[in-house]
């Protein structure tokens, strides 16, 4: 999975929950990333509605975040005029022509969406649990006192390794980014093919921020050159497969992918780097040109977001969606099920999470520094 390029293809969810209203009445429509909410979620939401209970709830998935972002751009170009929704074609499912009320967006592209006027601000006053959301997530979606998204699931860049190989070869399990430079793992490591991720984790090893604007740091190039010598290959979608066939012993990957793989393969384990890592989160955003502005739609948007943040469902949501609810870190760990409390990818140590960062947009000058350094390192022997 190439998360930073929106290439996320996972299991399907397509649901329309209909009340007693007639077919021509308006529905509450959500377009989301596949598997980013549990399959049971829409039915549970329906049961907990406090008003407008008879409104149809229309939920459809997209394979990729890119599909959703492209759809937002298309709706903007159409000026809010409905057009056939070919981005979400699924066999035997009728395709709506109506712009949805909420859409999934990856946090890294939020600033772009605001700049291109693809989305509109949301009203957190309708969210009873907004004040319980950790400041890290509030800050992420707030621009000049306007809130542009509602975070509902997050993940991180992590280190994953083969427990059986480490045990059989008497290797010390990894704890932090520095372990990628260990001599006993040379040539047995797979890395994401992502400049910001790999240069970023190297910056983190050096005590710097992922969002460092100037890469003229004395030891950075030497560290990256050494890491390149450690690495067998770079890939954003095949490191886990290579890990499972013994091609590599350790890899850097995204936690949402790793959690799925760990369910099927008991021989792999993962750690949340102790010095902190790069975070990502899925957001609910509202299209700028959504035509459905009636009272029911406004109410259901607020109810949906509140439902996503309910402390009572946060543990199960986190276990089933391969990503943690942002509300989870506000709960008493003693109240969480063992399966969740002992999973460091979903409930990382507080200090490690505090040291972690979301990737922020960078200037053209900094982007060119990344490209130049990445090309130089990758071409070195």
Burial 85-112, CB ≥16 within 10 A → b, else e: bebbeeeeeeebeebbbbbbbbbbbbee
Crossing angle of helices 364-378 and 195-205, rounded to 10° = 90
d(CA 306, CA 128): 7
Question: What is residue 2's DSSP assignment?
Answer: B
Contact 64, 255 (CB under 8 A): no
CA nearest 310: which of 45, 126, 124? 45
Phi/psi at 120 (5° precision): -120, 155
d(CA 46, CA 304): 10
CA nearest 42: which of 72, 18, 67? 18
Give alpha helix (H) positions in the chain: 41-48, 65-77, 110-115, 135-141, 163-168, 195-205, 220-230, 239-244, 255-264, 295-308, 314-320, 338-341, 350-354, 364-378
- Predicted structure pTM score: 0.88
Q: What is the pLDDT of residue 19?
A: 46
Domains of the chain listed by start with CATH number: 3-154+280-341 (3.40.190.10), 156-279+349-378 (3.40.190.10)
342: Cβ contacts below 8 Å, ≥ 6 apart: none
Q: Which H or E element spans position 138?
A: helix 135-141
- Backbone CA torsion sign across 308, 105, 88, 317: negative
Per-residue pLDDT for the chain (381 aa), expressed as one digit of tens each?
Answer: 454 443 222 233 445 554 444 444 578 999 999 999 999 999 999 999 988 888 889 999 999 999 999 999 999 998 756 555 554 544 433 344 489 999 999 999 999 999 999 999 999 999 999 999 999 999 999 999 999 999 999 999 999 999 999 999 999 999 999 999 999 999 999 999 999 999 999 999 999 999 999 999 999 999 999 999 999 999 999 999 999 999 999 999 999 999 999 999 999 999 999 999 999 999 999 999 987 678 888 899 999 999 999 999 999 999 999 999 999 999 998 999 999 999 999 999 999 999 999 999 999 999 999 999 999 999 976
Structure tokens at 191: 């890395």
d(CA 350, CA 347): 8
Contact 208, 217 (CB under 8 A): yes
Structure tokens at 187: 């040539």
Contact 77, 38 (CB under 8 A): no
Structure tokens at 196: 């910001």
């Amino acid at each position: 999975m190439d998360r930073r390029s929106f290439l996320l293809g996972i299991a399907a969810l397509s649901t329309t929950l209909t009340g007693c209203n007639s077919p021509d009445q308006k529905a509450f429509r959500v377009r989301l990333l596949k598997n980013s909410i549990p399959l049971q979620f829409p039915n549970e939401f329906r049961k907990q509605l406090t008003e407008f209970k008879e409104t149809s709830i229309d939920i459809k998935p997209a394979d990729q975040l890119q599909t959703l972002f492209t759809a937002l751009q298309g709706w903007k170009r159409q000026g809010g005029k409905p057009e056939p929704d070919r981005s979400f074609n699924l066999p035997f499912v009728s395709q709506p022509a109506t712009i949805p009320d909420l859409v999934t967006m990856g946090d890294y592209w939020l600033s772009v969406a605001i700049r291109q006027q693809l989305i509109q601000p949301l009203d957190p006053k309708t969210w009873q649990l907004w004040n319980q959301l950790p400041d890290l997530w509030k800050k992420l979606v707030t621009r000049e006192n306007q809130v542009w998204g509602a975070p509902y699931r997050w993940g991180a860049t992590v280190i994953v390794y083969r427990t059986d190989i480490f045990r059989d070869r008497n290797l010390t399990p990894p704890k932090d980014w520095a372990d990628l430079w260990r001599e006993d793992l040379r040539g047995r490591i797979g890395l994401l093919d992502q400049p910001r991720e790999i240069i970023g984790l190297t910056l983190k090893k050096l005590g710097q921020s992922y969002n460092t604007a100037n890469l003229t740091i004395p030891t950075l190039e030497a560290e990256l050159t050494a890491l390149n010598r450690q690495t067998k290959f770079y890939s954003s979608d095949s490191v886990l497969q290579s890990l499972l066939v013994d091609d590599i012993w350790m890899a850097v990957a995204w936690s949402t992918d790793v959690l799925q793989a760990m369910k099927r393969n008991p021989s792999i384990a993962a750690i949340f780097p102790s010095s902190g890592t790069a975070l990502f989160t899925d957001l609910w955003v509202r299209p700028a040109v959504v035509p459905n502005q009636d009272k029911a739609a406004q109410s259901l948007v607020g109810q949906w977001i509140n439902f996503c943040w309910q402390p009572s469902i946060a543990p199960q949501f986190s276990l089933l969606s391969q990503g943690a609810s942002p509300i989870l870190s506000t709960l008493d760990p003693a109240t969480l099920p063992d399966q969740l409390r002992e999973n460091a990818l979903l409930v990382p140590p507080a200090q490690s999470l505090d040291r972690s960062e979301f990737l922020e947009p960078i200037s053209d000058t900094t982007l060119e520094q990344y490209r130049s350094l990445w090309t130089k390192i990758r071409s070195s022997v």
